[in-house]
């Protein structure tokens, strides 16, 4: 597996991956606009044949960041791709002076909860009816780098 910066050439595959991962996927235009932002880290994961099997996006303002998107192709789930992408995103954003990372995750997404807990994220809140299609609450998770920066590398 290879993790690298996303390019415009990846967007069709990213959109396909996004659509197979989320009930309300982001648009191609959204992904395209993120490629140009200097406070966004947008990475893709490829398998050994060069097929895109995941993507992740994190952005930051000052010393806080949000893991905005992490999607793994159904065929690659449970194989460590999500963890590898997350580790790269966290390590890279830490280099920009970020001390705290937030994210929202569906309350019912146990696989995602396990992944985030394994990296030191802790629940700090809940957003009622945050998700639609189906409607569901989100759990807000937080990771503080100043507690244990080694978790981001």
> Any idea which residues carry the catalytic annotation?
104, 116
Alpha-carbon distance of 122 to 75, in angstroms, equals 28
Cα–Cα dist 137/76, whole Å: 26
Residue of 70, 80, 19, 16 whose CA lies nearest to 47: 80
Of residues 35, 100, 108, 5, the one with CA closest to residue 62: 100
């Amino acid at each position: 597996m290879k993790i690298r910066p996303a390019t415009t050439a990846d967007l069709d595959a990213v959109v396909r991956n996004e659509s197979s991962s989320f009930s309300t996927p982001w648009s191609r235009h959204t992904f395209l606009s993120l490629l140009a932002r200097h406070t966004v880290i947008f990475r893709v994961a490829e398998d050994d044949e060069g097929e895109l099997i995941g993507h992740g996006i994190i952005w930051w303002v000052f010393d806080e960041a949000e893991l905005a998107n992490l999607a793994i192709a159904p065929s690659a789930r449970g194989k460590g791709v999500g963890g590898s992408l997350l580790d790269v995103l966290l390590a890279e954003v830490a280099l920009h002076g970020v001390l705290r990372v937030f994210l929202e995750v569906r309350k019912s997404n146990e696989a995602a909860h396990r992944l985030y807990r394994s990296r030191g994220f802790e629940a700090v809140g809940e957003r009622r009816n945050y998700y639609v299609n189906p409607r569901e609450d989100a759990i807000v998770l937080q990771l503080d780098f100043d507690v244990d920066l080694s978790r981001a590398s």
